[in-house]
Structure 1
């Protein structure tokens, strides 16, 4: 195609061929083939998204015989047409038809109202004529009766017409609201602000070359998502990229790249402010007491209770290292602002399952499935859909997992188990007044685990029960586990205070776990 020098050239299509989605924006690459004659040419390409960032615009010609002299983005305001258009969808055409019918019905209702008002005036004039004629002795009862009957019949007819129109308009208004809501949910609004690329190119000889345009755009982002399918002792974990973009144009069959780079972060170090540290002697009250605070720390362990739901979209967790993922096949992402999943890859590994109960968090028993990350790269943190052979079970959270590390997912367990938790607390004191007395709090936690099963069920299953005890960070407060009073004795106690038991349960069996621990503090301690 050869383009002559013109003042207002016809726009040349400039589609998106590659897209790199960042955490809160996207870098787009567009290409167009140009056939240029010798000389200087002014070209108009597009339309582009009006959200393109002007100062990030970069152009490149694929031939050394051509040179880009000037490139700029030009935006114009084009209001949407009021009436229907040939490119409208059937839903939008239906909306235009309903609005046209409503306007016609409103006009007809106004005409009927004017007719009724006129008939009311005629009725008043006729009654005045009857009164005057009767007073003058020129009565015409037959004529007046016929006129009053005809006028009343027409008033009744117009009033009935007005009621029908009111009912019809109410139905049209309800249908219009429904169609408008459906259109808002299914289709994006056409752009009123349009953007084109105006390019000035100089060619030393006739050349057929490819123009490449790159720029940033807002209203585009991505997040990782996963789908875990468990069956026959193996777990298949599929990685997807959920992409949103509301740039006003569709990305069709583009080379899609996903990056965790944060280009919005400042590249310069923060300013340093003076921070003075001063020493002062303790007051008499501070020397007599030790102030402590009891706080809850969230520990990233799997159990029956999942993470708290949130309406905010979390960021991409890449552990501080930029990760770049590439879609294996061309992807299409409509510009409707909705979530679209793009497959990135999957792997299947042998799964190890364990039944885990956390009675303090939930009365349910979960199945924790472990599999080694064999995807060849890290798994970024994101939501995961949990699926068994029987179907979809729910959603969980997959934490950041390095290559070769173990992935742990908590699948919802069955209702085969029952958990009942009881807590008994006793307060007391110990020690001599001379040596310093200590206040103590002894807590006894009992967890009753039962496995009611249907007739014919055989086989023993092992359930891991997890409880917790406080962890002290100050020497004035001590936490001690009474292992001799625990029944059975715990199988494990980690540094974060998680106590674990492994209970074998036969069908219709019932076991009780008892945990006893003591929190002791001197009388100087306040805040417990």
Structure 2
């Protein structure tokens, strides 16, 4: 005769929880049991109904053998979500609210009629009689409204109590799974059983606070602090109190077998026969010995035979395909109702990262300088794609997003507008003139444009690098030419020159495909040998070519970039000038 041991999981604490991102969590529980000599049945009830029966794993300490593990699914929920009593209360509340609406409408009509009589003072006697009636009616309506409000409040309170009872019953049904462990003990004594299982309804996602600070000390570099947190949601039906919490990026749903490629053959199309009956399953699907064939009275058995009480541990390899974060201390994550968006936040790490600041402005579109931060992940923690809140000098700036970043990799994030950089984008000046032409050349209309910009750094410390971008038009028709005249000596885009134009300021054609100040991007362009600049030629280049065709086969849209280093309180004037040369009498228009 076996010794039966009944355990209610709700009376026993959870030891550890590993939460996955893919709507799963692994739970570990430990139970102390008193075994008798021979066969013992340890029945653990009150387990979550969302338990994955295929994930159950049992280990133990003691001189015994785990003979069998039986999973019993929760009973089917036959109780209606709403009872006749709650429906009756809902109807009562609806009727009371309808009566209240009628009385409120009567009160409004009475007020409206009263206002109309006030404007007509011809019959004082009738007005006096009405106000006597008005007072009685208004008093009666107000009394009825107060009574209805009390009745509605009482009915709604009663409804909430009934719904709470239903919710309690629903929570009980969410913990209807049961696991029975058959243990063969050689002698009487205490033993410890450890139970692992995976549940659905739990997940985590990363959250970040990126806090940047620019110091006024010229010798001190800007600092960036990253607050790395995990947002955990769980509606498994059981509370996780005082648990050792681990967050994992692995997915328990993915198999470990390497996929194979099926044969890829081509040939004449063939007609697929149509079957009128049901298609038979393969013998592998119909074969005996499977889990379904061994199901008995709703219980699915998992046979685990061993010569000793120890069951081999699962081996977890970390670092190759996933990352695991162990949360310091013990955590408390209560279960929420299904569909709830309530989340609990835990701190993974707070790390100081290496950072480089850069300012970018496109004054043609907006006369503001945007501060961007190039951050290198110098920590040991891989950063998982997730939203971030950006703070600048302890002031909230914006919402952003951090991509997947491995240790020692770099990412960029915007820190918003820096009001300390003042930019004035002056009105565009235009001068039109004609060229006489010669014996071998035709007449042209030439339009000259000059765009001036004034940039000032009002900080007490230097700003570097500051990228100012502007553009000249790009011709899409060989009959029209665009000649850059300032910055001088910039040359054609393919020359990739950097020309000094002022103290601490250089001009260049903007590099397409490379981030501002990204040396790696420049080198990549050099390696491929592909031009990354616009259909533009310098004034000298066009005049030397003697050709009517513009430069073709390039991709950038004529963007000129000034790379500036501005000391505190200093400013600089920048000039962009160009000519548009068109055949005489053929005006140009802006294209798409």
Shared topology, TM-score over 0.5? Answer: yes
CA gap of 1:406–1:160, structure 2 versus 1, over 3 A, is closer
> What is the CA distance between 1:272 and its match in structure 2?
6.0
Check whether the contact 1:80–1:190 (CA below 8 A) recurs between aligned residues.
no
Determine the C-alpha separation between the residues in 2 that align with 1:443 and 1:201.
93
1:262 paired with 2:251, answer yes
Q: What residue number does 1:18 align with? A: 16
> What is the CA distance between 1:58 and its match in structure 2?
1.8
> What is the CA distance between 1:447 and its match in structure 2?
8.1
1:398 paired with 2:396, answer no
* Secondary structure, aligned partner of 1:490: strand
Q: What residue number does 1:142 align with? A: none
Determine the C-alpha separation between the residues in 1 that align with 2:347 and 2:418.
31
> What is the CA distance between 1:48 and its match in structure 2?
1.8
Check whether the contact 1:417–1:449 (CA below 8 A) recurs between aligned residues.
no
Determine the C-alpha separation between the residues in 2 that align with 1:191 and 1:423.
74
Check whether the contact 2:211–2:394 (CA below 8 A) recurs between aligned residues.
no
Determine the C-alpha separation between the residues in 1 that align with 2:138 and 2:374.
80
Of 475, 494, 498, 2:511 maps to 494
* Secondary structure, aligned partner of 1:384: strand
- The runs of 5 or more residues in structure 2 that have no matched partner are 100-136, 216-221, 268-317, 430-446, 489-500, 514-555, 581-590
Check whether the contact 2:485–2:577 (CA below 8 A) recurs between aligned residues.
no
Q: What residue number does 2:329 align with? A: 329
Deviations 1:200-238 (A, max 9, x none): 423221232221222222122222222222334322223
Where do residues 229-378 of structure 1 align in structure 2 (5 Å cutoff)?
229-231=211-213, 232=215, 233-265=222-254, 267=257, 268-269=259-260, 271=262, 321-336=321-336, 337=340, 338-349=342-353, 351-358=355-362, 364-378=368-382
- The runs of 5 or more residues in structure 1 that have no matched partner are 84-95, 110-154, 277-317, 425-441, 519-526
Q: What residue number does 2:49 align with? A: 50
Determine the C-alpha separation between the residues in 2 that align with 1:43 and 1:10.
7
* Secondary structure, aligned partner of 1:32: strand
Determine the C-alpha separation between the residues in 2 that align with 1:445 and 1:327.
60
Compute the TM-score of the two structures, normalised by the length of structure 2.
0.52
Determine the C-alpha separation between the residues in 1 that align with 2:449 and 2:456.
23
Deviations 1:19-41 (A, max 9, x none): 22222122222222222122323
CA gap of 1:458–1:327, structure 2 versus 1, over 3 A, is closer
1:464 paired with 2:466, answer yes
Deviations 1:266-298 (A, max 9, x none): 65346565589xxxxxxxxxxxxxxxxxxxxxx
Of 202, 205, 228, 1:220 maps to 202
Determine the C-alpha separation between the residues in 2 that align with 1:15 and 1:447.
72
Check whether the contact 1:333–1:340 (CA below 8 A) recurs between aligned residues.
yes
> What is the CA distance between 1:405 and its match in structure 2?
3.3
> What is the CA distance between 1:53 and its match in structure 2?
1.0
Check whether the contact 1:14–1:48 (CA below 8 A) recurs between aligned residues.
no
Q: What residue number does 2:286 align with? A: none
Check whether the contact 1:22–1:260 (CA below 8 A) recurs between aligned residues.
yes
* Secondary structure, aligned partner of 2:74: strand
Compute the TM-score of the two structures, normalised by the length of structure 1.
0.57
CA gap of 1:71–1:466, structure 2 versus 1, over 3 A, is farther
> What is the CA distance between 1:247 and its match in structure 2?
1.1
Determine the C-alpha separation between the residues in 2 that align with 1:375 and 1:417.
32
Where do residues 403-482 of structure 1 align in structure 2 (5 Å cutoff)?
403-417=407-421, 448=453, 450-451=455-456, 461-462=463-464, 464-465=466-467, 467=469
Determine the C-alpha separation between the residues in 2 that align with 1:382 and 1:19.
22
Aligned residues: 386
CA gap of 1:5–1:377, structure 2 versus 1, over 3 A, is closer
Determine the C-alpha separation between the residues in 1 that align with 2:61 and 2:146.
69
Q: What residue number does 1:121 align with? A: none
CA RMSD in angstroms, aligned pairs only: 5.3
Deviations 1:147-179 (A, max 9, x none): xxxxxxxx99998865443343456678899x8
Check whether the contact 2:370–2:414 (CA below 8 A) recurs between aligned residues.
yes
Deviations 1:430-459 (A, max 9, x none): xxxxxxxxxxxx999968465596xxx756
> What is the CA distance between 1:345 and its match in structure 2?
1.9
Check whether the contact 2:360–2:468 (CA below 8 A) recurs between aligned residues.
yes
> What is the CA distance between 1:418 and its match in structure 2?
5.3
> What is the CA distance between 1:260 and its match in structure 2?
2.3
1:195 paired with 2:176, answer yes
Determine the C-alpha separation between the residues in 2 that align with 1:372 and 1:239.
15
Determine the C-alpha separation between the residues in 1 that align with 2:14 and 2:577.
63
Check whether the contact 1:28–1:215 (CA below 8 A) recurs between aligned residues.
yes
Check whether the contact 1:359–1:447 (CA below 8 A) recurs between aligned residues.
no
Q: What residue number does 1:514 align with? A: 576
> What is the CA distance between 1:369 and its match in structure 2?
2.9
Check whether the contact 1:224–1:241 (CA below 8 A) recurs between aligned residues.
yes
CA gap of 1:81–1:396, structure 2 versus 1, over 3 A, is closer
Deviations 1:342-372 (A, max 9, x none): 2222322454322223558865423223444
Check whether the contact 1:381–1:400 (CA below 8 A) recurs between aligned residues.
yes
* Secondary structure, aligned partner of 1:494: coil
Determine the C-alpha separation between the residues in 1 that align with 2:230 and 2:487.
48
Check whether the contact 2:485–2:579 (CA below 8 A) recurs between aligned residues.
no
* Secondary structure, aligned partner of 2:382: coil
Determine the C-alpha separation between the residues in 2 that align with 1:17 and 1:377.
25
> What is the CA distance between 1:327 and its match in structure 2?
2.2
Determine the C-alpha separation between the residues in 2 that align with 1:189 and 1:364.
57
Check whether the contact 2:246–2:327 (CA below 8 A) recurs between aligned residues.
yes
Check whether the contact 1:225–1:383 (CA below 8 A) recurs between aligned residues.
yes
CA gap of 1:4–1:38, structure 2 versus 1, over 3 A, is same
Q: What residue number does 1:210 align with? A: 192
